[in-house]
Amino acid sequence: MRCKGVVTADKGTGAFLRFFAILVTADTFAARSLATPVAAILGLCIDLGAAHEPRRQRLLDRYGAFSVDCREVFAKRGLGMMKKIGSYPELADPQLQPRYSGIPTFFRLPHSVRLDEVDIGLVGVPFDGGVTNRPGARHGPRDIRNQSSLIRKINQATGVAPFDLVRVADLGDAWIERPFELQGALAEITAFFATVHAAGVTPLSVGGDHSISLPILRAIARDRPLGMVHVDAHCDTGDDYLGSRFHHGASFRRAVEEGLVDPKRVVQIGIRGSLNAADMWQFSYESGMRVVSIEEFHDKGWRWAAVEARKVIGGGSTYLSFDVDSLDPVYAPGTGTPEPGGLTTLEAQRLIRDLGGLDFVGADLVEVSPPFDTGGITSMTAATILFELLCVLAQARAQKPMSRG
Ligand code: MN
Ligand code: MN
């Protein structure tokens, strides 16, 4: 069944594959013409070929997922033997398939590179080159994809059904070709998200460490500064560290300096922990950000925090950045910089739900570090928060469909 033997890539094959990858990326006529024979030869599309017709057709209709029909080729070669679903047509919906089955994408969504037929794109950013202490967040997207198979279709608390409201797909990873060159890596991330943004797709990104927010903002906020709801134990408005202006503790200072976020429209929620200098987060206060310490949050509650966030944000375009270390380590131990005494998962969920209706143009969830996790609890919690982020993004997107250029 598997077309072994062909991928004994010599230099010529490798060069051809690179050329083909460029064609696919460019989505050219040539790529479409070449797609079927190439995919069949390399046996890359066993899964797509295996997909039963109703589901495949529905996904193609709804998401325009890039695929090549190598089943015809397999059939001609006597290889068309994959099982089809006959008795349970409702299983054409990926969210209704058994949650232990399938290849792990975010929320079991179709993997698509057809940006023109996607409203919200989930993107993994497996990069932790900006971590100042404990690494491992590069493994976040893979673990969260796996745990996100637990999530169902409808937000029971708000009634939001994001997959019915808008077209959602997993766009794969913004993986980085040169991860050891920090500024070059950030530029690669920006280039990826610039393509996503230019196609009119709202990005929901999964890190990776918090340094990834800056290059994402460079891509989606280049024409106007955004407001930002930032949930985190740390302000991430530090300065140079060990000779680098770019790391996961300085992202939002750089974002303000580069005119990507309007500090007067930024609220930072959950701030706590010990400091090495009393003025470590001075930039937040001096630039006019609204800093909500965990003590203030605890005293006044999530409902008040949502009202306060709305007051600070006002009405314009807004980004939502969620650092999983905002949660107490009892809920999210698998992170590089845990700070005990944090938000509960439920507080974070209710806070995010109460922000529904704001004009969110993108969001990220960062700093899940599976090597420090225990039994997948942090990735599971992160997947749950990611669903809440998706719901408010879907609400925003459904309210104001973006025009496509
Ligand atoms: Mn952070
Ligand atoms: Mn943090």
C-alpha 29 – ligand 1 centre gap (Å): 42
Helix (H, G, I), strand (E, B) or coil at 137: helix
Ligand (nearest to CA of 212): 1
Domains belonging to the chain, first-starting first, are: 11-92 (no CATH), 106-399 (3.40.800.10)
Nearest to 32 by CA among 126, 145, 123, 113: 113
Ligand nearest to the Cα of 252, by number: 1
Residues with CB under 5 A from ligand 1 (ion): 210, 232, 236, 323
At 88 the pLDDT is 75
**Residues forming a β-bridge with 231:** 269, 322
Proximal ligand: closest to the CA of 273: 2
| Residue 207 CA to ligand 2 centre (angstroms) | 12
Largest CA distance in the chain: 72
The whole-number pLDDT of residue 400 equals 74
Ligand 1 center to residue 323 CA distance, Å? Answer: 5
Amino acid letter at 385?
I
Which residues lie near ion ligand 2 (Cβ < 5 Å)? 232-234, 323, 325
**Binned average pLDDT, 10 residues per bin, the chain of 405 residues:** 36 53 51 52 44 50 44 54 68 83 93 94 98 97 98 97 97 96 97 98 98 98 97 97 96 98 98 96 98 98 98 97 98 98 98 98 98 98 98 94 48
Beta partners for 292? 269
Beta strands in 116-244 (DSSP E): 120-125, 168-173, 202-207, 226-231
Q: How far is the CA of 55 from the centre of ligand 1 (A)?
A: 39
Torsion of CA 294, 360, 96, 115, to 10 degrees: -140
CA distances from 105 to 40, 101, 121, 168, 169 (A): 23, 11, 12, 12, 9
Nearest to 328 by CA among 306, 309, 310, 343: 343
pLDDT of residue 99: 87
Alpha carbon of 55 to ligand 2 centroid (Å): 40
Ligand whose nearest atom lies closest to the CA of 237:
1
Q: Angle, to 10 degrees, between the axis of helix 377-399 and the axis of helix 345-353?
A: 10
Per-residue confidence (pLDDT) for residue 285, from 0 to 100: 98
